[in-house]
Structure 1
């Protein structure tokens, strides 16, 4: 099975993240950038499928030069090769234009299965898997907590607030996963050394048939107009129970519209 895993480099969610003051986009230059957490689970699932059914795993990334760091980290986990969509015109691309570029790249890779995280920790819009499936004309199996492969048939348990739904489709398909699906492996020293020699193909927009004017801030369908820092947390309200504590607590909850 030919599996392609989408990997995005994002600012580390464990530290402060900022938007640029000039264009309101994510300030990646001053951040500690890492692989999007959910994408690590997608990589692990791809490797498990390869180990059980054979095939090849390719990492696909769209991002600036520094995204190469995350590509090598992803390859150290075990995938075979990577494709890096790299072009200065891509800076500031929205989800819609990102899906256009990635679908063009996927069209050249002939994937049986496209795996990705259910969301990215910087955007958190959860729409890219659906957009890619629509552009590619394939099934979208999203929000998987479990994936079963039986020949060309894919079955997922889609995680919901009430439990899960069972969804089945034939390959080719796009599957997005949550962090409940598996436990990603740690790269071994051997894997880290091997990753340095694995092929990474660079694709500019010209090779994908996408014009620069269609992407980036110029082609974006949405944009952040303004932003501000989250206000500091105010001190809490302490209720001292002198016989009417319960009433005071209910009044406070009602004021805050919790009840």
Structure 2
């Protein structure tokens, strides 16, 4: 993976404007839609069981997010996911709050039994709980993974789940079980604005919609998003989360080749 690969994928997203179908939580719907539009993708939010399969079929990617969870959401995700699988549409799952409650954890596992995932993206606590390990949770926010190395956690998750796993935090990690990357872009201010992780998952979906190599798509999306966040905090200041939120949308729209070449920090790690 190199910066030029990421640039090519960013250009492809902006040229093709892929339709990203989001079954996401009510807290982040507007922010996610605006973030995808700022990037250059085309968002759609639809929750009804009656149209979930049809919407997935015509989309470039399906992003499923369980942040505000009920049985109808699970049913729609499964219907959309099965349709996406049948029509070659990538499926990215955001297991928000996995481990916080038994119902939430079982919902994630049910989705994974029913739908073949292209990628799963969560913080360390969420991903640890998805694979049956102990990750500390506060509500739907994660604490730590009891000292587990996140690079090893993401590799184990990819291996056990048979998909590309993504763990985000102070550093971000992507693995398919064979190769693992660490991305060291971003800002702590991302944790002061709700929905930034959910938006990131949808942006990974946009990149996956135009690139069949899911590892390359995920690494490129994470690096791009992290650089956009760094530029946003440069403009907003480190103590203004409201201004930062607006500037993040601006930078998703304007971040370009020179910014990425100057700032991207991506390392390939040795597995094992």
Fold conserved between structures, TM > 0.5: no
- Rg larger in structure: 1
Higher relative helix content: 2
**TM-score with structure 1 length normalisation?**
0.33
Higher relative strand content: 1
Higher relative contact order (CA 8 A, sep 6+): 1
